[in-house]
Amino acid sequence: MMSAQWKEAVLKRGKPKILWEGEPLLGSIYDEEEIEAAVGAIRESIDINAGFGFSSARIIEFEQAFAKYLGVKHCVAINSAGPGLDMAMRYLNLQPGDEVIVPAINFVAAPLAVVGAGGQIVWGEVDPDTLQLDPNDVEKRITHRTRAIFPVHMNGLSAPMDDLVELGKRYPHDQHGPLPVIGDAARACGGAYRGEKIGKKGLMTVFSFHTMKNMTTLGEGGMVATDDDDVAAFMRSTRFYGYDLDIWGSSFVMTKVQAAVGLVQLRKLDDFIAARRRLALRRHELLADVPELTLPIEPDDCVHSYYLYTCLICRKWAGEKRDKLIKMMFEEYGVKCLVANPPAYTVRKYLRDRTPGQRLPLSEELGARLFCVPIHPIMSDDDNERICASLLDCIERLRRE
């Protein structure tokens, strides 16, 4: 823990210079290079025989560059991760009653995709240390109706993919064989697991380039990554009205301008992640040994991308006192912490109504304890220190209440 003198000296410098949000509205950094790439792609597109669209060489170039970055065979560029998750669930051809196991500590997109494809959500508990879907818990929830395991690489860290894939092999479905593991890496672009980038393991992985994410393609965008030829063909066909395979489809295509910007962002992605990591490592030092706080951990086999810096407050401070801490941080220091995410069924009636009787005590407890302290690759070391000193100050004062 840093000394009281350190904290007082930092607090004297004043509030952080920027209004920091738990999940800043622009997650990456843009400069002239992205603007030039976008303008260049627009110029190319204003030829009536070129246009912006889906068959452009830029999109193929972006897909190939992303596939190379991940070390996978295929990447399929799409307009947003949500449709990618929907397509992933549609690929399973779920029948009424078929079950998909998703972590309860989750954004709503993956569970909604299960329902949208006609499946039954089965909520899984997470490992409280990593907030990732817990394979031991998944094992207890597998039935003869289970069709897939659907982890989210929560807040920038990898899910334990090898363990989940192994489980899928150990409990094959009667008709469909090993349970596929499908990853939602919307928040984890650029992270790594066992020496490979997140996106290499499992049947397929869906990425988001939404404006808040680690890299972004003009606010919306996504990618499906896979080593499986069948999955890739299904995704290419479904993202454009089911052409080629003559199946159901719609339009989930990315534009040429987005792909041109994506190529630039991808080249910078590792630097963005390195900046996030540097801030996180310093923060681990500054906030170490505060009895009320558990800091995010990085297992030895993972490289955390720190999309979010997720802390847990002690059990005694769960709920109201955690919320008070968040309020103090904002009102007194202008730092907006975020609760990402409580169990998805607690925030969405639609999901709650479709999972009657499924309540997960551990995830609910974690949902009342977690909060994310802002982090972003442009954050200065000075602001990082000011944020940490503010947090220490708020905790010390709350301790006396």
Binding site for ligand PLP (CB under 6 A): 80-82, 107, 109, 152, 184, 186-187, 208, 210, 222
385/390 Cα distance (integer angstroms): 8
CA distance 368 to 91: 35
β-strand partners of 226: 74
* One-letter amino acid for residue 73 of the chain: K
Please state whether the peptide bond connecting residue 384 to the residue before it is cis, i.e. omega within 30 degrees of 0.
Answer: no
List the structure tokens of 379.
Answer: 């954050």
Closer Cβ to ligand PLP, 82 or 168, answer by number: 82
Closest Cα to residue 380, out of 33, 5, 10? 10
Shortest Å distance, C-beta 22 to ligand PLP: 13
By beta-carbon proximity to ligand PLP, the closer residue of 21 and 139 is 21
- Minimum CB–partner distance for residue 210 and ligand PLP (Å): 4
Q: Which CB atom, from 45 or from 217, has the smaller least distance to ligand PLP?
A: 217
Q: How far is the CB of 176 from ligand PLP (least distance, A)?
A: 24
Minimum Å gap between C-beta 126 and ligand PLP is 13
In this structure, what are the phi and psi dihedrals at residue 125, rounded to the nearest 5 degrees? -80, 160
Q: DSSP letter for 173, please.
A: B
- Of the pair 186, 351, the CB lying nearest ligand PLP is at 186
| Closer by beta carbon to ligand PLP, 259 or else 293 | 259
Contact, 131 vs 154, CB < 8 A? yes
Query: Which residue number, 25 or 46, has a Cβ lying nearer to ligand PLP?
Result: 25
Q: C-beta of 9: minimal distance to ligand PLP in Å?
A: 37
* Beta carbons within 8 Å of 176's beta carbon, 6+ residues apart: 147
Which CB atom, from 254 or from 368, has the smaller least distance to ligand PLP? 254
Give me the least distance between CB of 45 and ligand PLP, in Å please.
Answer: 23
Smallest distance from the beta carbon of 310 to ligand PLP, in angstroms?
Answer: 13
Are 228 and 203 spatial neighbours (Cβ–Cβ below 8 Å)? yes
Cβ atoms of residues 202 and 182 within 8 Å:
yes
To the nearest whole angstrom, how small is the minimum distance from the Cβ of residue 182 to ligand PLP? Answer: 12
Closest CA to 297 of 104, 106, 128: 128
Q: Would you tell me the crossing angle of helices 4-12 and 381-399 to the nearest 10 degrees?
A: 120
Minimal CA–CA distance to 241: which of 117, 109, 111, 83?
83
State whether the Cα torsion 236-239-242-247 is positive or negative. positive
147 or 210: whose CB is closer to ligand PLP? 210
